[in-house]
A and B are shown apart, each in its own frame.
Chain A
Amino acid sequence: MKKVKADPKGVLTGSHYLDGDYAIAEGALAAGCQFFAGYPITPSTETAERFSERIPTIGGVFIQMEDELASIAALIGAAWGGKKAMTVTSGPGFSLMMENIGLACMLETPLVIANVQRGGPSTGLPTLTGQQDMMQVKWGSHGDYEIIALSPDSPQECFDLTIEAFNLSEMYRVPVFVMTDECVGHMHEKVVIPPAEEIELVERKWYTGPKSKYLPFKPDKDMIPFMVKAGDGYHFHITGLTHDERGYPVINAECQDVCVRHLNDKIRTKADEIIRFEEDKTDDADVVVISYGITSRVTTRAVRKAREAGLKVGTIRLITVWPFPEKRIKELAKKIKAFIVPEINYGQVVIEVERCAAGQAPAIPVSHCGGWVHDPDDIFKAIKEAAQ
Chain B
Amino acid sequence: MAKLKDLAAIEDRLVAGHGMCIGCGIPLIFKVILRATEDPLIIANATGCLEVCTTIFPRTSWNVTWVHSAFENAASTISGIEVMYKALKKKGRIPKDKRFKFLGVGGDGGTYDIGLQALSGAVERGHDIVYVCYDNNVYANTGGQRSSATPIGASATTSPAGTQSPGKIQRRKDLTKVLVAHNIPYVAQASPHRWQDLYNKAKKAFEVEGPAFLNVLCLCPTEWKYDESLGIRLAHMAVDTCVWPLYEVENGKYKINYKPKEKKPVLEWIKTQGRFRHLFKEKNAWVLEEFQKQVDQDWEELNKLESL
With known contacts A57-B163, A66-B148, A49–B158 Cβ distance under 8 A: yes
Minimum Cβ distance to chain B for residue A167 (Å): 27
With known contacts A52-B160, A66-B116, A66-B148, A92–B71 Cβ distance under 8 A: yes
Q: Is the CB of B72 within 8 A of A67?
A: yes
Nearest A residue to B112 via CB reads: A66
Residues of B within 8 Å of A62, CB to CB, are 158
Please tell me the size bucket of the interface on B.
20 to 34
Q: Complex formed: what's the CA distance from A42 to B160 in Å?
A: 19
Chain A 35-49, CB-CB to B under 8 Å as 1, else 0, gives: 000011110010011
- B142 in contact (CB, < 8 A): yes
- A123 in contact (CB, < 8 A): yes
Q: Is the CB of B142 within 8 A of A67?
A: no
Residues of A within 8 Å of B139, CB to CB, are 40
- A53 in contact (CB, < 8 A): yes
- A56 in contact (CB, < 8 A): yes
Residues of A within 8 Å of B95, CB to CB, are none
Q: Is the CB of A40 within 8 A of B158?
A: yes
Q: Is the CB of A48 within 8 A of B70?
A: no
Minimum Cβ distance to chain B for residue A36 (Å): 10
Q: Is the CB of A48 within 8 A of B145?
A: yes
Q: Is the CB of B165 within 8 A of A40?
A: no
Q: Which of B119-174 contact A (CB under 8 A)?
A: 139, 142-143, 145-146, 148, 157-160, 162-165
Nearest A residue to B109 via CB reads: A40
Q: Is the CB of B113 within 8 A of A66?
A: yes
Q: Is the CB of B142 within 8 A of A42?
A: yes
Residues of B within 8 Å of A45, CB to CB, are 142-143, 145, 157
With known contacts A56-B164, A123-B70, A67–B114 Cβ distance under 8 A: yes
Q: Is the CB of A122 within 8 A of B113?
A: no
Q: Complex formed: what's the CA distance from A52 to B70 in Å?
A: 26
Residues of A within 8 Å of B160, CB to CB, are 49, 52-53
Q: Complex formed: what's the CA distance from A52 to B164 in Å?
A: 10
Which of the residues B47, B142, B146, B164 comes within 8 Å of A57, measured between beta carbons? B164
Residues of A within 8 Å of B71, CB to CB, are 92, 123
Minimum Cβ distance to chain B for residue A236 (Å): 31
Residues of A within 8 Å of B143, CB to CB, are 40, 42, 45, 49
Q: Complex formed: what's the CA distance from A39 to B115 in Å?
A: 13
Chain A 48-90, CB-CB to B under 8 Å as 1, else 0, gives: 1100110011000010101100000000000000000000000
Q: Which of A255-298 contact B (CB under 8 A)?
A: none
Minimum Cβ distance to chain B for residue A94 (Å): 13
With known contacts A64-B146, A67-B114, A53–B159 Cβ distance under 8 A: no
Q: Which of A337-352 contact B (CB under 8 A)?
A: none
Which of the residues B70, B109, B142, B165 comes within 8 Å of A56, measured between beta carbons? B165
Residues of B within 8 Å of A48, CB to CB, are 145, 158
With known contacts A122-B70, A123-B70, A52–B114 Cβ distance under 8 A: no
Minimum Cβ distance to chain B for residue A186 (Å): 12
Residues of A within 8 Å of B146, CB to CB, are 64
Q: Complex formed: what's the CA distance from A42 to B165 in Å?
A: 25
Q: Complex formed: what's the CA distance from A205 to B267 in Å?
A: 53
Which of the residues B68, B142, B163 comes within 8 Å of A40, measured between beta carbons? B142
Which of the residues A40, A49, A53, A92 comes within 8 Å of B162, measured between beta carbons? A53
Minimum Cβ distance to chain A for residue B145 (Å): 4
Q: Is the CB of A66 within 8 A of B142?
A: no
Q: Complex formed: what's the CA distance from A67 to B109 in Å?
A: 9
Q: Complex formed: what's the CA distance from A326 to B139 in Å?
A: 44
Minimum Cβ distance to chain A for residue B111 (Å): 11
Q: Is the CB of B114 within 8 A of A64?
A: no
With known contacts A53-B162, A64-B159, A67-B72, A123–B142 Cβ distance under 8 A: no
Q: Complex formed: what's the CA distance from A203 to B146 in Å?
A: 34
With known contacts A45-B142, A45-B145, A122-B70, A66–B114 Cβ distance under 8 A: yes
With known contacts A40-B145, A66-B116, A52–B159 Cβ distance under 8 A: yes
Residues of B within 8 Å of A40, CB to CB, are 109, 139, 142-143, 145, 158
Residues of A within 8 Å of B164, CB to CB, are 56-57
Which residue, B143, B157, B162, has most C-beta atoms of chain A within 10 A? B157
Residues of B within 8 Å of A67, CB to CB, are 72, 113-114
Q: Complex formed: what's the CA distance from A64 to B139 in Å?
A: 12
Minimum Cβ distance to chain B for residue A152 (Å): 23
With known contacts A40-B158, A64-B146, A123–B165 Cβ distance under 8 A: no
Minimum Cβ distance to chain B for residue A299 (Å): 32
Minimum Cβ distance to chain B for residue A87 (Å): 13
Which of the residues A64, A92, A122, A123 comes within 8 Å of B158, measured between beta carbons? A64
Q: Which of B45-88 contact A (CB under 8 A)?
A: 47, 68, 70-72
Residues of A within 8 Å of B70, CB to CB, are 92, 122-123
Residues of A within 8 Å of B68, CB to CB, are 123
Q: Complex formed: what's the CA distance from A224 to B205 in Å?
A: 58
Q: Complex formed: what's the CA distance from A52 to B159 in Å?
A: 7
Q: Is the CB of A39 within 8 A of B47?
A: no
B residues whose Cβ falls under 8 Å from a Cβ of A: 47, 68, 70-72, 109, 113-114, 116, 139, 142-143, 145-146, 148, 157-160, 162-165
Contacts A39-B113, A62-B158, A64-B158 aside, 7 further interface pairs with beta carbons under 8 A come to: A40-B142, A45-B142, A49-B143, A49-B160, A56-B165, A57-B164, A64-B146
| CB-CB nearest 7 A-B residue pairs | A56-B164, A67-B114, A40-B145, A66-B113, A52-B158, A40-B142, A49-B157
- 7 inter-chain pairs at a CB distance below 8 angstroms, sorted by A residue, are A40-B142, A40-B143, A42-B142, A48-B158, A49-B158, A57-B163, A66-B113
